[in-house]
Amino acid sequence: MTSPWITEFSKESIHRMQLNTPRIEACLGRLTEEEVWQRPNNASNSMGNLLLHLCGNIRQYIISGLGRQPDSRTRDAEFSATGGLLKQELLQRLKDTVQEAEEVIRSANETALLTTIQVQGYELTGIGIIIHVVEHYSYHTGQIAFWTKQLRNEDLGFYAGVNLNIKNAD
């Protein structure tokens, strides 16, 4: 029987990942194909690079590391790409990767979550792997949102209709 903390941890981790995909999709919907591959400067990546990078990271950490699948990541290619995929193809690749990762998270038992696994040269427990991916996904989603705001000079409406001024209950 799965313990309640594992169920809750998995559910919340997946929920946090699922918040980011529609935000990225909203950004891509506002951009041209050229803008998706545009770099803000030489020290930065395009949104296309970031999407490839997210797929590579999620696959290497969760699907390969926690899910014990072969590691086929070519990290440098994520950053050297300058095109070749349309924004819909990038988005579909991301959605497919996230869905596969969600399945691995859902199936992870207590032993898997507490076992130390080497991923990308780091020693992490299954819990550490999931935390890394959730925060990494959020981090790059924020970069994509910021770059989209720079290009469009508009609020993306991620919190439209939500009162963020509500105080916590005493």
Report the C-alpha gap between 145 and 20 in whole angstroms.
Answer: 10
Give me the mean pLDDT over the 148-168 stretch: 95
Q: Residue 124: what are its φ and ψ, rounded to 5°?
A: -135, 145
Is the pLDDT confidence value at 80 over 80?
yes
Is the pLDDT confidence value at 8 over 80?
yes
pLDDT given for residue 170 in this prediction: 80
pLDDT tens-digit series, residues 81-114: 999 999 999 999 999 999 999 999 999 999 999 9
Report the C-alpha gap between 128 and 115 in whole angstroms.
Answer: 10
DSSP, collapsed to helix, strand or coil, labels residue 116 as strand
pLDDT tens-digit series, residues 10-50: 999 999 999 999 999 999 999 999 999 999 999 999 999 99
CATH (residue range 4-152) = 1.20.120.450
Cβ atoms 98, 13 nearer than 8 A: no
Mean pLDDT over each residue of the chain, to the nearest integer: 96
Is the pLDDT confidence value at 127 over 70?
yes
Report the C-alpha gap between 90 and 50 in whole angstroms.
Answer: 10
* Percent of the chain surpassing pLDDT 70: 99
Tell the residue number behind the tokens 């998995």, with chain if given.
10
CB neighbours of residue 72 within 10 Å = 10
Is the pLDDT confidence value at 168 over 80?
yes
Please, which pLDDT band fits residue 2 given cuts at 50, 70 and 90?
Answer: confident
Is the pLDDT confidence value at 141 over 70?
yes
| Domain locations along the chain | 4-152
Tell the residue number behind the tokens 């169920």, with chain if given.
7
pLDDT given for residue 1 in this prediction: 64
What stretch of H or E contains 113?
Answer: helix 110-114
pLDDT given for residue 74 in this prediction: 94
Give just the sign of the alpha carbon dihedral 122, 127, 133, 139: negative
CB neighbours of residue 88 within 10 Å = 11
What stretch of H or E contains 100?
Answer: helix 87-107
pLDDT given for residue 3 in this prediction: 86
